[in-house]
Structure formats: structure tokens, C-alpha cells
Amino acid sequence: MDDGQIPSSSQSPWLPFESRRRARDEKREAVLRTAVALFLEQGYHGATLNEVARRLNITKPALYNYFRGKDEILYECWSIGNELVDDCIAETSVSTGSGLSKLRKLIVRYAELMTEDYGKSLVRFDLRDLSEDNRKIVQTAKRRIDRAFRDYIAQGVEDGSVKPCDAKLAAFAIAGSLNWIGHWFQPGGEMTGRAVAEEFAIRLTEGIATTATRKTAQKAAVPAAEKADKPPRNGNAPREDESEHHTRAAARAAGQSKRARGRLR
């Protein structure tokens, strides 16, 4: 079935027996990358710290140099995902355009996140496995995400780009579809994450949008704004907006001083 000799998978900073002198934070992140993948693969309870360590060519106790325990690793995985979502929200909220326009942008970004490991961790991990404190943080953040969807919808209703509807339920419906992506999507399938995201942005808004979605027929019903809403559905353009996907996440990658960092001796 399985025996030793990991094929030096992905890229572990601990090459079997050579120079293991990388920066601390790089190792920390490597642990998280491995952990989130394993947690998704086997489930939090099915995955063992021994296996996480094994995949990194180290042993379990070494992990405790970087984390207080298993549940903290889980929390940190979730936390990274949350920072990515925050970036999505921040990006979309500063963008100009109607409520519908912002909603669509958020859907695309969020959907694509759900096709990646850290995004999935937001919806596949069980809050009850976290410590009391961390659980509260997560719950608060979840409400923030929900609020973003709801706000854009309400905003759209006001500016006329979205049909009048119950913002709360509409947000649940949309977020549900998107979150579910994290359960079924796996890379290597017929569609790329980006493609799924764009398709969902259309599908999930065409029910509540006042304007026609597909291409023509911008029937002149929108009172204000609605500028660069959507370049009319280019098949596979080289994503024009790779500018800076990481606002807060980039900060974390560089600075990274806050947040517990392993056993405090």
C-alpha cells in the first residue's frame, strides 16, 4: 500500500537531509499548505499530525515549534482563507459600479476562491473543532462575509440594478451555491476554476438582475452608474486584472509579525 520515501512532493523546505535553513515563516506556511491539503483530503479527524509531518520530511514534535496544537493549525488554515476573502471584499467594495456589478465581481472572486485549498477550508472545516476563542472569531468573520453579499444586493435593489427581493434569503441562496463549489470542485476536471466562477456569476444573478445579462439589450433601465460592468463574455482572455490579488494576504506574506507563532518558551 504505502511505505516510506515520499517523492519529495510539491516543494518542501526540508529536503531530506540537506540544507534546511529556510526562513521560519516559510516553514510555517509550508506546514499550513501541507496541513490544509491533508485536512481536505482526509478530513480533520482523519488526518494525523504524524502524517502532516511525514509529508514534510520531519517528525510530529517539530510541528510544535510553529503551532500550539492541531486545532491552532486548523484555525490558521481557516485564517488564511479568510484573509483571501477579505481581499475579495475589499477589492469589490472600492470598485465603482452598481450594486449588481459589485455583487457579480464578488461572486467571481469568491467562487474562484472556493476552488482553491484555503478557500475550501472556509466551508469544509467544522467550527466545533476550534477553541472557544477562535470559534468566536470565525463566526464573526462569517457574518461579515454574509453581510457583504447582503449589502451589495440591498444596494442593487436601491440603485435599480437588482429586482426587489429579500436580501437575506437571496444572499443565502447565492452563498450556498458558491460554498458548495468547495465541496465538489476539484482541479483537473473539465472546467477551470475561473470558468466555473464566471459561469456562476451569470447564473446566480440573472434571476435577480433587472438588466439583461447575456450581451445586447442594455434596455436603459438603470438610473445611475453601471460603467465597466462586464466585458461581454470573452471566452478565455488572459484575465485582465491580475494586478494585485493579494492586499492583506500580501502584507501577511511579507511583514507577518502578529499572530501566535508556536510554542512561546
Residues in contact with DNA by the rule CB under 7 A: 14, 19-21, 24, 27, 47-50, 53, 57-62, 64-66, 69-71, 265
Cα separations (Å) of 188 from 1, 115, 185, 191?
A: 24, 11, 9, 8
166 binds a second copy (CB under 8 A): yes
Q: With the C-alpha atoms ordered 73, 78, 81, 82, is the resulting torsion angle positive or negative?
A: negative
CA distance 210 to 42: 43
Please choose, out of 29-37, 154-162, 192-200, 237-245, the segment that lies near a second copy by the rule CB under 8 A: 192-200
**Quick one: what does residue 61 bind among a second copy, DNA, none, with the CB cut-off 5 to 8 Å set by partner type?**
DNA
| 3-state SS, residue 155 | helix
> What is the size of the binding site for a second copy (CB under 8 A)?
32
| In the complex, least distance from residue 57 CB atom to a second copy, rounded to whole angstroms | 26
**Quick one: what does residue 8 bind among DNA, a second copy, none, with the CB cut-off 5 to 8 Å set by partner type?**
none
Q: With the C-alpha atoms ordered 34, 36, 41, 47, is the resulting torsion angle positive or negative?
A: positive
Burial class (CB in 10 A: 0-12, 13-18, 19+), 256: middle
Q: Which is nearer to a second copy, 16 or 164 (CB)?
A: 164
169 binds a second copy (CB under 8 A): yes
Question: Of 71, 86, 116, 129, which lies in the binding site for a second copy, with binding defined by CB under 8 A?
Answer: 129
CA distance 126 to 63: 22
Please choose, out of 1-9, 25-33, 41-49, 216-224, the segment that lies near a second copy by the rule CB under 8 A: 41-49
Contacts of 241 (CB under 8 A, 6+ apart): none
Q: Which residues bind a second copy (CB under 8 A)?
A: 42-43, 45-46, 126, 128-129, 165-166, 169-170, 172-181, 183-184, 196, 199-200, 203-208
